Chain A
C-alpha cells in the first residue's frame, strides 16, 4: 500500500453528499483560478488610459512578483502547519522573516557596504537564504523538539524570538555607519509598493522549484498530518522528513521576504481559508487553493490600494490588521474546543 493510499484510507471522511457533477474540490479550485485570473486582469487594465506599451510590461512584472510572493507564503505556511499539526502557527508568527532581516543586516555589517554593493544582488540573496535555511532549520527543530512543548509555548516562543531578532537588528542598524545603512535599506526596503525586481527571476525559479518539491512531497505531507506516531507507524522517516521540509519552508520564506519584506498574517489567512473552502485533507488540493487565494488577496489588494486608497496606506498594514483580528478569533475558538 503506498503512502497516498494509506493516508486516504485513514483520513477518508464519512461519505460526503454525492457529487452533483464534479467533486467539490474541482469546483472550488476552478472558481478560485477564475477569480485569480480576473483579479490579474483588473490589475493589468485598471486606469491604463491608452499607455499600454508603458503600463503593461511594468504591471505584468508586478503581477508575477505578487504571484511568486503569494505562492511562496501559501505553500510554506501549509507545510509548516502540517509539520506542527496545528492551524495557528505560521513561519512569520514564529519569527522566520525577522531572522531573514537579521541575517541581511549581519552580512552588510560584517562585510561592509563596498563589498556588498559590488556584489551581484543574486549573491547577497543566496547568502542570506542559505544562512536562513541552516539557522531556521536548526532553531525550529530544537523548538519543536520532541513535541512535548505545548502549542501555546511554541507560539509564545516564536513571538519572543521575533522580538529578539528585531531588537538585535535594531542595535546593529544603529551601530553601523550611514553608508552601510543605505546599502542595507536597498536590501530590506522592498515593499508591495516598490517591488524589488532585480532578484525576481531568481526568486521566481526558486519558488517554482520549491513548489514542485512541495507537490511531490504532498503524499508524505498527507501522512505527516496524521500526527507523529501514526506517520512513523506508516513508515515515514519522521526526523529526516521534518528536517528537509523545514529547509523547504525556510527557502520559500526567504523568497517572499526578499521580494516584499515581512507580511506577518497573510499565510495564516490564506491557509485557513483554503482549509475552509476545500474541506479537504489532501495537500495537493489545500496547497493549490492556498496559492490561488494568496494571489487573489495580493493582486486585488494592491489594485484597490493603488486606485481606491491612492497609496494612502500599506498593503502590509492592512493585511496585518485584518489578519491579527482573525488570528485572535481563531486562537480564542481553539481555546474553547
Chain B
C-alpha cells in the first residue's frame, strides 16, 4: 500500500468523526450565543430561567442541523442521479420552482395550513425539476458545465414568473424572504416541519445503493436489477420535498447542496453509504458555522444566513468550476 493510499484511507476513517465533533461543538456554540446570556454551565445543569433555551435556542439549533443536513443530502442525491457534480437544488431550478409553489399556495388558499403549503410547494418543485431533467435529456452534448448552466437559467425564468405575480399581489418582500434563508424567526412551534426534511434525508440513506448503481450508468444499473426510472423518481421526489420544506420554513440556502457534497466526496470518495452520513454532518456543520457568523457580525442584530452561505458558496463553486480538468477548448 502506497503512502498516499494509506493517507486516503485514514482520511476516510477520520472524516466522519471530525464532522460529528464539529457539529457537536458548533451546536453548543449555537445554544450559547445570542442577545441574552446563557452560560456553558447552564446547558449541563439544565437551568433555563425564562424558557429561553427550550423556546428559542434549542429549536433554532435543531432547525439549522436539520435544514443544513437535509439540503446537503438532497444535493448529493441529485448529483448522483444526473451524473453531474454541479447539479443541486439551487442549480436545477428546484428552489425557484418551490418558491413559485409557495406563492401559488398563498394566492389560492391564503389560510392554508403549513403542510398544505409544503405539499403544493413540493409539487411545483418536483414539476420544475422534471422540466429541467427533460431539457437536459434532449441535449446531445452533456457537458459538465452546460447542464448546471441550463438549470440556473431555467431557475431564473421560474423566478421571473414568481416576481411577476408577486409584484401584482404585493408579495415581493415575502418572495425575497423565501429566496434567502434566515433562522432568526425560528422558535418552538414554528420549525417542526423541518423534521420531515430530516426523515426524507434518512429515507435517502435507504436507497443509497440504488442511487450509487444509477450513477454508474443506466445500462449497468438495469443490468444488476435496479428499476432506474423508479429510483430516479424517488430520488428527485426526496430532493424536491426537502427543498420545499426548507423554503417554506426558513427560506432557501443557496449553493449549500452543491458545495458540501463536492467537498465531502473529494475526501471520502463516491460510495454513497459512506458519503451520505458525512455529507449530512458536514452540511449541518457548515450551516451552524455560517449562522453563528450571521448572528455575531452585527451583534445583537442578525444578517440572513442565506447571504453568508451565498458568498461562501459562490466562491467555492467558482473555484470548483475553474479547477483544472473542467477546461475544454471547444464550444
Task: Please list the residues of chain A having a beta carbon within 8 angstroms of any beta carbon in chain B.
Answer: 148-153, 155-157, 159-161, 163-164, 166-168, 170-171, 174-175, 264, 312-314, 317-318, 320-321, 324-325, 327-328, 331-332, 334-336
Contacts and interface: CB of A to CB of B under 8 A. Distances in A.
A335 B142 CA distance: 9
Given A171-B308, A175-B297, A332-B135, A149 B161 contact: no
B14 interface: no
Contacts of A321: 157, 160-161, 164
Most buried by B among A174, A327, A332: A174
B291 interface: no
Given A164-B310, A314-B167, A331-B150, A174 B303 contact: yes
B327 A328 contact: no
Contacts of A148: 327, 329
B191 to A, nearest CB: 22
Interface stretch (B77-85, B226-234, B316-324): B316-324
B304 interface: yes
A327 B164 contact: no
A150 B164 CA distance: 33
B157 A152 contact: no
A164 B156 CA distance: 15
Given A150-B330, A167-B307, A317-B167, A331 B322 contact: no
Most buried by A among B152, B160, B321, B331: B160
24 contacts: A153-B321, A153-B327, A156-B152, A157-B318, A160-B317, A160-B318, A163-B255, A167-B254, A167-B311, A171-B297, A174-B307, A175-B303, A313-B167, A314-B163, A318-B164, A321-B160, A321-B161, A324-B153, A324-B160, A328-B157, A331-B149, A332-B138, A332-B150, A335-B146
Contacts of B150: 328, 331-332
Given A170-B307, A175-B297, A312-B168, A150 B331 contact: yes
Most buried by B among A152, A168, A318, A332: A152
A335 B141 contact: yes
B139 interface: yes
Contacts of A314: 163, 167
Contacts of B156: 264, 320, 324
Q: What 6 A-B pairs have minimum CB-CB distances, sorted nearest first?
A: A167-B310, A164-B314, A170-B307, A324-B157, A152-B145, A321-B160
B180 interface: yes
A153 B329 CA distance: 10
A238 B224 CA distance: 56
B105 to A, nearest CB: 21
Contacts of B307: 167, 170-171, 174
Interface in B91-136: 135
B326 interface: yes
Interface residues of B, number: 47
Interface of B: 135, 138-141, 143, 145-146, 148-150, 152-154, 156-157, 160-161, 163-164, 167-168, 180, 254-255, 297-298, 301-304, 307-308, 310-311, 314-315, 317-318, 321-322, 326-331
A157 B321 contact: yes
Contact of A150 (B297, B302, B327): B327
Contact of B153 (A153, A168, A317, A328): A328
A153 B328 CA distance: 9
Contacts of B329: 148, 150
A163 B149 contact: no
Nearest to B153: A328
B297 A149 contact: no
A162 to B, nearest CB: 9
Given A157-B322, A328-B157, A170 B139 contact: no
Contacts of A163: 254-255, 310, 314
A224 B135 CA distance: 34
A167 B143 CA distance: 27
Given A314-B167, A324-B157, A328-B153, A161 B146 contact: no
A165 B296 CA distance: 22
Contact of B311 (A150, A156, A171, A264): A171
Given A150-B145, A175-B298, 4 more contacts: A152-B146, A159-B149, A159-B153, A335-B331
Contact of A335 (B139, B302, B322): B139
B303 to A, nearest CB: 4
Given A332-B135, A335-B141, A155 B149 contact: yes
A171 B139 contact: no
A318 B167 CA distance: 11
Contacts of B331: 150-152, 334-335
Contacts of B160: 317, 320-321, 324
Nearest to A158: B149
B164 A317 contact: yes
Contacts of A157: 318, 321-322
Contacts of B255: 163
Nearest to B319: A160
Most buried by A among B157, B329, B330: B157
A153 B323 CA distance: 11
